[in-house]
C-alpha cells in the first residue's frame, strides 16, 4: 500500500481540464457526451457548454445517467428521451427503460466521451453506465474516452466483501469490493481487461493527483454528483450506510444529511448510541438525534436515530460500522427491524440487502447473531485477491 504523504500543494487537473488543454485528442470527432452536473472543469464550467462551444469537434448526442443529465431526479426515478433546449441535441436516458445505448443512438457517433464524478463505492451506478457504454461500443469501432476524476474517498483504502457470482445487478455488475479504492478511469481499464468489455478505450489521466488524497485536498470544487451526495462527508459514510437501503430503516434520505443521519420511528436514540459504542469502532462517534424525513422511507414521521461524526478518516471503516449497526438492530429490535423486500434495482428474485452485500451469507450470519469481527475476517481473503488484480490497473 502506498505511504501517505503531505497534502498536495497544487490543484489537481481532472481529465476534463487536461483534455481542454490538449484538444487535438478529439479533433474531427463526432461525439456522444455522457455527463451530469459534476462534469465541470476546475473553474466550474459545465462540459456540455465547453464541448458545444468548441469548433474542432462536433457533439451529436447527449446521454444522461441515473438522476439525469442535470441530476434533477431522485433515486430510481426514470427519465424519458428529450431534446436539449439549448442545443437541440437528443438527450438519451441510460437509466430506467434502458441501461445501454441502443444502436440508433450511436449512428452519428464515432467517439463517446464519459465524464462524471464517482464516489468510490461499488453501489454507485455511474460506473456500470460506463460499462454498458463500453459494451455498446465494443463491436462498432466507437472509441470510449474516459476523462478521469479523483476517487473522493482516496485511492488507497479498500473495504468490504467482493461481489459473488449470482448477485450481479445495476448496483454491482462485477466482482469488486464495496469500497474499491480506484478512479473511474482505472475501473474502465479493469472492466476492459479483466471482465471482457473489450472496446477501444482511451483514458485521459489527471495531473497532480496522489492516491491518498481525499477530495478536499485536491483543491477542486465539489459538485454533488447525485441529489443525495451533497458533500464529501456523505461519500465517506456512504459505503456502509447505503446498505440501509436494504432495510426498513431510514438512511437519511429526505434530510439535509443523507447517509450521515439514520434511524427509524421505533429506535431509542440514546440506547442506539450506547449500543454502538460497545463495538469500539475506530475513527467515529455518534450523536443521538430525532429527525423527520421529508420524503423516502418514514416521510413525515418522527424517527429516533443518530448522526455519524467521523473523527479520523484514516481509521474509519464505513462498511464495518454499518455491519455493527445491523448486528445491533437484529439483537435489539427483532420484531420491528426487517429486511426490505424486492424488487430493487431491476432485481426481483433476491433480497435487496443481498444485492447490496453481493452475497447472502452476510445476512444469514447476521441473523444467526455472528459477531461482525468474524464476518469481516471471512471477507478478507477475497479482498486480498482483489488487491492483486486491482494493482495492474492503477494509473497513479
Annotate the chain with three-state secondary structure. CCCCCCCCCCCCECHHHHHHHCHHHHCCCEEEEECCCCCECCCCCEHHHHHHHCCCCEEEEEEECCCCCCCCCCCCCCCCCEECCCCCCEEEECCCCCCCCCHHHHCCCCEEEECCCCCCECCCCHHHHHHHHHHHHCCCCCEEEEECCCCCECCCCCEEEECCCCCCECCECCCCEEECCCCHHHHHHHHHHHCCCCCEEEEECCECCCCCCEHHHCCCCCCCCCCCCCCHHHHHHHHHHHHHHHECCECCCCCCCCCCEEEECCCCHHHHHHHHHCCCCCCEEEEEEEECCCCCCCCCCCEEEEEEEECCCCCCCHHHHHHHHHHHHHHHCCCCCCECCCCECCECCCCHHHHHHCCCHHHHHHHHCCCHHHHHHHHHHHHHHHHHHHHCCCCC
- Asked if residue 391 belongs to a domain, the reply is no
| Judgement on whether residues 106 and 205 belong to the same structural domain of the protein | yes
| Judgement on whether residues 82 and 105 belong to the same structural domain of the protein | yes
Query: Which CATH number goes with the domain that contains 58?
Result: 3.40.50.12170
| Judgement on whether residues 170 and 249 belong to the same structural domain of the protein | no
Number of domains present in the structure of the chain: 2
| Judgement on whether residues 251 and 318 belong to the same structural domain of the protein | yes
- Asked if residue 118 belongs to a domain, the reply is yes
> Given this model, what pLDDT does residue 80 score?
60
> Given this model, what pLDDT does residue 45 score?
97
| Judgement on whether residues 239 and 212 belong to the same structural domain of the protein | no
| Judgement on whether residues 190 and 317 belong to the same structural domain of the protein | no
> Given this model, what pLDDT does residue 23 score?
97
Predicted model pTM: 0.94
- Asked if residue 395 belongs to a domain, the reply is no
Consecutive 10-residue averages of pLDDT for the chain (396 residues): 54 98 97 96 96 96 83 50 80 89 95 98 97 95 97 98 97 98 98 97 98 97 94 98 98 98 98 98 98 98 98 98 98 98 95 98 98 98 97 98
Q: Could you list the residue range(s) of the whole structural domain that residue 45 is in? A: 15-217
> Given this model, what pLDDT does residue 72 score?
53
| Judgement on whether residues 182 and 287 belong to the same structural domain of the protein | no
| Judgement on whether residues 201 and 329 belong to the same structural domain of the protein | no
| Judgement on whether residues 271 and 207 belong to the same structural domain of the protein | no
- Asked if residue 168 belongs to a domain, the reply is yes
| Judgement on whether residues 72 and 107 belong to the same structural domain of the protein | yes
- Asked if residue 381 belongs to a domain, the reply is no
Query: Which CATH number goes with the domain that contains 341?
Result: 3.90.1150.140
| Judgement on whether residues 144 and 263 belong to the same structural domain of the protein | no
> Given this model, what pLDDT does residue 11 score?
94
| Judgement on whether residues 213 and 236 belong to the same structural domain of the protein | no
Amino acid at each position: 500500500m502506498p505511504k501517505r504523504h503531505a497534502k498536495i500543494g497544487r490543484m489537481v487537473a481532472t481529465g476534463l481540464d487536461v483534455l481542454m488543454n490538449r484538444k487535438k485528442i478529439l479533433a474531427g470527432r463526432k461525439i456522444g457526451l455522457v455527463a451530469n452536473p459534476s462534469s465541470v472543469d476546475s473553474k466550474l464550467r459545465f462540459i456540455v457548454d465547453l464541448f458545444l462551444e468548441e469548433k474542432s469537434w462536433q457533439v451529436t448526442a447527449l446521454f444522461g445517467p441515473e438522476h439525469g443529465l442535470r441530476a434533477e431526479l431522485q433515486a430510481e426515478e426514470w427519465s424519458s428521451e428529450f431534446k436539449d433546449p439549448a442545443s437541440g441535441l437528443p438527450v438519451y436516458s441510460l437509466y430506467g427503460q434502458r441501461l445501454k445505448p441502443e444502436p440508433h443512438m450511436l449512428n452519428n457517433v464515432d467517439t463517446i466521451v464519459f465524464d462524471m464524478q464517482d464516489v468510490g463505492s461499488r453501489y454507485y451506478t455511474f460506473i456500470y453506465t460506463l460499462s454498458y457504454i463500453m459494451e455498446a461500443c465494443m463491436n462498432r469501432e466507437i472509441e470510449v474516452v474516459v476523462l478521469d476524476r479523483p476517487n473522493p474517498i482516496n485511492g488507497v483504502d479498500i473495504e468490504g466483501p467482493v461481489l459473488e457470482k449470482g448477485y450481479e445487478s445495476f448496483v454491482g455488475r462485477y466482482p469488486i469490493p464495496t469500497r474499491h479504492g480506484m478512479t473511474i478511469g482505472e475501473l474502465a481499464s479493469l472492466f476492459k481487461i479483466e471482465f471482457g468489455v473489450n472496446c477501444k478505450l482511451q483514458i485521459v489521466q489527471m495531473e497532480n493527483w496522489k492516491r491518498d488524497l481525499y477530495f478536499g485536498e485536491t483543491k477542486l470544487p465539489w459538485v454533488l454528483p447525485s441529489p443525495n451526495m451533497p458533500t464529501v462527508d456523505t461519500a465517506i459514510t456512504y459505503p456502509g450506510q447505503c446498505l440501509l437501503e436494504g432495510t426498513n430503516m431510514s438512511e437519511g434520505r429526505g434530510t439535509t444529511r443523507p447517509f450521515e443521519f439514520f434511524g427509524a420511528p421505533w429506535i431509542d436514540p440514546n440506547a442506539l448510541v450506547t449500543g454502538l459504542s460497545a463495538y469500539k469502532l475506530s475513527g467515529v462517534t455518534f450523536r443521538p438525534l430525532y429527525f423527520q424525513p421529508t420524503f423516502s422511507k418514514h416521510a413525515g414521521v418522527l424517527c429516533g436515530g443518530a448522526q455519524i461524526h467521523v473523527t479520523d478518516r484514516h481509521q474509519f471503516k464505513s462498511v464495518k460500522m454499518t455491519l455493527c449497526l445491523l448486528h445491533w438492530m437484529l439483537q435489539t429490535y427483532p420484531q420491528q427491524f426487517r429486511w426490505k423486500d424486492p424488487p430493487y434495482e431491476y432485481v426481483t428474485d433476491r433480497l435487496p440487502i443481498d444485492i447490496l452485500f453481493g452475497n447472502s451469507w452476510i445476512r444469514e450470519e447476521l441473523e444467526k447473531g455472528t459477531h461482525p469481527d468474524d464476518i469481516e475476517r471471512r471477507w478478507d481473503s477475497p479482498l486480498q485477491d482483489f488487491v492483486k488484480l486491482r494493482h495492474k490497473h492503477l494509473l497513479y
